[in-house]
Amino acid sequence: MATTREAPPKYKNDGGNVQILCPFCEPSHPIYPHKISACGTLLKVAAVQTVYPARTLKKAEVVCVKCGKPGGEMVAYGRGFVHVQECNPERKLLAEAPTYSEWARRVYNMPNWLRGWLERFTGAATEVIELDGEGRETGRIIGYYFAEAKRGRHFERKHSQADAG
């Protein structure tokens, strides 16, 4: 039966562009994710998280930052922990701060009929509220941002006419 060997790839910085190179061949050649090269090397790309078992977290009295409840398997998130399974779909935790916008604040505070109409073009105006280390809202509003814009009929019609010409 065949075995495999693994090694971290080599990197070549080529004026701002980084090439990933085969660690097994000399001279080395570029390798690409999920494509087997001539030498048989396959570059795997994987996202990896450490999952902490419920019994370990129970001993430490850890609570989920997202829902505020203990128990269950969790992963580290920032300075706290969150459940592996979705526990509070209404609350979204941001991995990095969005680009805050004064216009998003204004849209967020508009009457619902006008806000809904504008959000068809801008995306949903969203309020960002600070959480403490245990997942409780502090009440402090950090800022407002637009989630991805929805592409309505007006947008599609406008751009399809421009592309056709």
What region, left, alpha or beta, does residue 15 occupy, with left being phi > 0 and alpha being psi -120 to 50 degrees?
left
Tell me: the pLDDT tens digits for 1-12? Answer: 778 889 999 988
Alpha helices in the chain (DSSP H): 54-59, 102-108, 112-122, 153-164
Alpha-carbon distances of 41 from 10, 17, 44, 82, 90, rounded to whole Å: 13, 22, 10, 36, 43
Tokens 């805050």: give the residue. 100
Percent of the chain with pLDDT over 70: 88
What does pTM read for this prediction?
Answer: 0.57
* Phi, psi of 122, rounded to the nearest 5 degrees: -95, -20
Tell me what the pLDDT averaged over the chain comes to. 83
Each residue of 10-69: pLDDT tens digit? 988 878 888 999 999 988 999 999 899 999 999 988 888 999 999 988 888 888 888 888
Residue 61 pLDDT: 86
